[in-house]
A and B are shown apart, each in its own frame.
Chain A
Amino acid sequence: MLNPLQRRMLRRRLLQAIPVLFLATFSVFMLMKLLPGDVAVVLAGEQATDERIAEIREIYGLNRPLLVQYGDWVLGALQGDLSQSLLSGEEISTTIARVFPNTLFIVAYAIVISIVLGVPLGVLAASRPNTWVDKFVMTFSSVGVALPNFWLAMIFVGAFALNRAWLPATGFVPPQEDFFAAVSHATLPAVALAASGVAEVARQLRSSLVEILQSQHFRTLHAKGLHPRAMLWRHGLRNVSVNLLTVISLLVNRTLAATVVVEAVFAIPGMGTTMVNATLQRDFPVVQGVVLMMVLTVITVNLITDMLYSVLDPRIGQK
């Protein structure tokens, strides 16, 4: 399915991912160790004696040199063993398998909203540049980008969950359990996350489209009598699709990061809350596992984006 050029690119990208993975996990590991506080103190409980704390360090190997601890973790991870949470004892692969789909569902939902609303708005603004419609869409977009999503989330909860019980205020239902309940639980967080996404997509699409629509290429299309709608949808969007793809792929990565706050506001057991809680309790194997998964996701999204570039614009693969 892939041509030789694409295969070579894929290989190169995969090789490039290896140092990125090491760098990311190593810096997170070291940052965790730089943080003051000690998981042994948390593990030993409230009335712990110094001896008990020392004993726990010994039991969990926390008194070994840092590089040895990191090396140990890498060796395990290479064999698919992300070890266990120091606090709850749960296998980290189990934790990730449980919380990652939740985060992914909300991110996917937010991206769908961003595209479904953002693309028509961008097209609308671009097709009527400098009219009140354009100005309205652009003002709306500026506000959307400027509003912090956690604040928006709180406002949504107040308006649609507490004042009017239209949607649940907190919690999450996995889609495989009950799809409609899942959608209703995920709607407010996804909308809060998507606000800036809609704005971003609309703005970027509008500016790229306006540029294209004023190009000589489009003057020619116009001259040959093509209907403006066909010009816009068939030729315009195709031309800006690479830009749009870039915006969306950046959006996916940013939305993934933004879930940390939104998950806390809506009490969603996802990657964000897992990472925050584990960081606060210095449960570093969990932090490492979650970070590894996040980095892998970002790398995968970027890889897919790169592959799609060459599909949308075959010239890219040949360069």
Chain B
Amino acid sequence: MTDRSKTHGPHEQGLLARLPQLRRRQFLAGAAALSALGAAGVPLRAGAAPSGHLRVVANANPSSLDPATGGAGSDHVFLYCFYDTLVDWDFATLAPQPGLAESWEFTDPQTLVFTLRQGVTFHDGTPFDAAAVAFNLQRNRTAELSNIKNDLANVETVEATGEHEVTLKLSAPDTALPLILSDRAGMMVSPAALGNDPEAKVDRAPVGTGPWTFTAWTDGDKVSGAANPDHWREGIPKVESIELQIIPERATALRAAQSGQADIAYQISEQQKVLIEKMPTLELAFGPTLYVYQLYLNASRGPLSDPRIRKAITMAVDREDWVKATQAGVGEPAWMNLPQAHWAWSEEAAKYTQHDLDRARALMKEAGVEGGFELDFRGYTDQASVQRSEVILQQLGKLNITGRFTNGTIAETSSRFFSAEKAGDVLLSAWTGRPDPSLTYSLLYSESSYYNPGRVAPPEGFEAAMADSRATADQAERAAALGRAQALVMDAALTIPLSIRYEVDALSTKVQGYSANLLGKPKFLHVGLG
């Protein structure tokens, strides 16, 4: 475990270096489960009847159990229990895979046709068909209560063109859509449960096609479900019932697993990985996620409007040291806005973020600020954030860049930094990731994007590369186009990615078939209890 947990440099391009670092047994179990997924409904083995009661410690009360009306990234873990998505993803690389849609095809750049799986029913017994998909996509796109209208902004019309075929007409080419439909927008709710009214919601009584049917939600306490006997994946789920206990305090969550009151506690802090390894009653599952700790820069004013200075900053950051100091060595340096295991990782882009203090000092001199300057830093009040802020000040001090952190709550600090007020020059925060990288890049770098605080135009060629990535459905071509886009913004140092957060999960020794995934939002459908 020790040698596998070390971080890999960007030059390591072997398959092993790209795999998330899971414990061996789990990696194998996960791989088996994935093959089952990838085989599009042809299970490797027919499973036994589900047995056992799986207890998972979740970290937040869901904001809603209706995929269209919720808002928190922590909701997905709950939603995956009750809903299936049209498109699935590979646990290790997030490459798209068939889900409720058996296949999809861009018949022309602006037409996407989904062929749906047959014989699937919702928990309420109603059939899952093209009409249900059209209803859901229409609702997600247009209903007043929908929080995910933006995800489907490029969809112009949705039509059921057969009993099991849905056709989407797009206003612009958008091959990111399949992966967008692996997220909230692709979670299928029973139209009957909504009374066929797109403005109704099932936020407290979810009805989907997922591995478990909903049984109860006690606010702030637990959410539970019972195995869906008619689930379309054979042998899934493996446990009869699931209970997600809500414990926001992660040290308490770990204690729940340690004392045997829970089988899985996920998203434990990196510092506690070593504890989990030492506990005889627990096993560890971990691996990279899309969650990137990074500095957001307001590049519209002051010294940060000079690209040489931004480059100097990104080169002055010693990311390997950063991981050791802030994550107890559990994680990997973020050479760009994606982890190395991702299918769209780009070696070219990673060149621009290598630590080179001499070059950084030379760039500062060239820009005429070798004596340094002061910046207005913003951050969050929790202990870990404050610790991170101290490390970053120390690292930037090498370029004589000084400043003071003004800390506040996440919601307040972020909204003041990104929206009209534009408070602060630098925000030390994170990017939680999106299933499709083109969303990540457009949300971070488009001139009009909320997460581009200075509303600075991206480098020339960026928008073209993004358009290219959305115009082809071939993954290698998409990766190449996305790599070009990422290299341009890394060269311009419009954000300073720092490190990748690793999923650290504690499992009881009874747990089988669980693996961490790259999205960082655990799924339990393959989990059994020994």
Contact = CB atoms under 8 A, between A and B. Distances in A.
Contacts of A46: 71-73, 432
A269 B217 CA distance: 13
Given A85-B219, A98-B218, A162 B258 contact: yes
B162 interface: no
B450 A49 contact: yes
Given A162-B255, A273-B220, A38 B412 contact: yes
Contact of A265 (B219, B249, B261): B249
A44 B71 contact: yes
Given A41-B411, A170-B261, A282-B411, A89 B204 contact: yes
B204 A170 contact: no
B409 A37 contact: yes
A170 B419 CA distance: 41
A170 B259 contact: yes
Interface string B244-259: 0111110011011011
Contacts of B62: 88
Interface string B512-525: 00000000000000
Contacts, number: 116
Contacts of A273: 220, 248
Nearest to A47: B150
A269 B246 CA distance: 9
Given A165-B260, A169-B259, A42 B411 contact: yes
A165 to B, nearest CB: 7
Contact of B252 (A266, A274, A277): A266
B203 interface: yes
B408 A36 contact: yes
Contacts of B415: 38, 41
Interface string B65-85: 000001111000000000000
A171 B222 CA distance: 10
A265 B64 CA distance: 25
B431 to A, nearest CB: 10
Contacts of A280: 409
B93 interface: no
B479 to A, nearest CB: 23
Contact of B249 (A38, A85, A95, A264): A264
A35 B408 CA distance: 10
Interface string B203-232: 110000000000000111100000000000
A58 to B, nearest CB: 11
Name, among A87, A266, A282, the residue most crowded by chain B CB atoms within 10 Å (CB to CB).
A87
Contact of A38 (B149, B260, B411, B443): B411
A238 B150 CA distance: 72
Interface residues of A, number: 42
B402 interface: no
A85 B61 CA distance: 12
A307 interface: no
Interface in B460-486: none
B218 A50 contact: no
- Range class of the B interface residue count: 35 or more
B71 A45 contact: yes
A30 interface: no
A18 B245 CA distance: 39
Contacts of B253: 267
A280 to B, nearest CB: 8
Nearest to A42: B411
A43 interface: yes
Nearest to B65: A88
B110 interface: no
Interface in B120-158: 144, 147-151
B111 interface: no
B385 interface: no
Contacts of A43: 63, 71
Contacts of A49: 150, 450
Contacts of A171: 245, 256, 261
Given A36-B412, A47-B443, A52-B147, A168 B261 contact: yes
Contacts of B218: 98, 269
A161 interface: yes
Name, among B218, B219, B247, B412, the residue most crowded by chain A CB atoms within 10 Å (CB to CB).
B219
A267 B412 CA distance: 27
A48 B414 CA distance: 12
Contacts of B151: 47
A215 B204 CA distance: 65
A118 B388 CA distance: 46
A190 B70 CA distance: 36
Contacts of A50: 419-420, 450
Contacts of A242: none
A54 to B, nearest CB: 11
Interface in B361-375: none
Contacts of B443: 47
A157 interface: yes
B63 A267 contact: no
Interface string A253-276: 000000000001111010001100
Closest 7 CB pairs of A and B: A45-B71, A169-B259, A36-B412, A269-B221, A37-B412, A267-B247, A37-B411
29 contacts: A37-B408, A37-B409, A37-B411, A37-B412, A38-B412, A42-B72, A42-B411, A43-B63, A45-B63, A45-B71, A45-B147, A49-B150, A52-B147, A85-B219, A87-B63, A88-B61, A88-B62, A88-B219, A89-B64, A89-B204, A98-B219, A162-B259, A169-B255, A169-B256, A171-B261, A267-B256, A269-B218, A277-B220, A282-B411
Given A37-B411, A46-B432, A98-B221, 14 more contacts: A35-B409, A36-B409, A37-B408, A37-B412, A44-B147, A45-B71, A45-B147, A162-B258, A165-B259, A170-B255, A267-B249, A269-B221, A273-B220, A280-B409
